[in-house]
Amino acid sequence: MTPNPPSDSGADAVDRAKLTELRTVLLKLHKTLLDMERRDYEREHGHVSTGELFRLVLDHQQFGWLHNISEFVVRLDETLAGEVPITPEDTRSAIGMARKLFVPSESGDAFQKRYFDAIQRDPAVVMEHAELARLFNSEPEVRG
């Protein structure tokens, strides 16, 4: 569910649209990764219902690495639902944090390693990562 935005004006509307796009791309990526983990889990343990999957997502370590994405989307939702206008700095900061988090790496942190493995084994994840990279490439990277 997309948060109801306060009335948009000027720059706020542009930055709100960018954060909304980031949110949409991350939700699609999260769904793709969740589907991949569900298939892997079901291969080993058998079919799970939607309710059981929800419990697994919350409690099972196989799905735990996906919490980073969920938490990131919640932060975006809070920003988008807030009363304060969204600034270019808010947008740069959110995109910058996403750039750092979604670096697939064999030698990175635990999330980056799992993300790297997911990209190696699921073409659907590759496609969603390409969409995220496109979004990153459309925004200048802030150094500092």
Nearest Cα neighbor of 34 from 94, 114, 113, 104 is: 114
pTM: 0.87
Q: Does residue 63 fall inside a structural domain?
A: yes
Q: Does residue 6 fall inside a structural domain?
A: no
Q: Does residue 5 fall inside a structural domain?
A: no
Q: Does residue 80 fall inside a structural domain?
A: yes
CB count within 10 Å of CB 16 equals 20
The tokens describing 120, both together, are 């190696």
DSSP 92-138: HHHHHHHHHHT---SSS-HHHHHHHHHHHH-HHHHHHHHHHHHHHHH
DSSP 121-132: H-HHHHHHHHHH
Q: Does residue 122 fall inside a structural domain?
A: yes
Q: Does residue 4 fall inside a structural domain?
A: no
Instruction: Tell me the residue range of the domain where 128 lies.
Output: 12-138
Q: Does residue 77 fall inside a structural domain?
A: yes
Structural domains of the chain, count: 1
Q: Does residue 31 fall inside a structural domain?
A: yes
The tens place of each residue's pLDDT in the chain, 144 residues long, gives 555 444 445 778 999 999 999 999 999 999 999 999 999 999 999 999 999 999 999 999 999 999 999 999 999 999 999 999 999 999 999 999 999 999 999 998 999 999 999 999 999 999 999 999 999 998 766 554
Q: At what angle are helices 10-45 and 88-101 packed, to 10 degrees?
A: 20
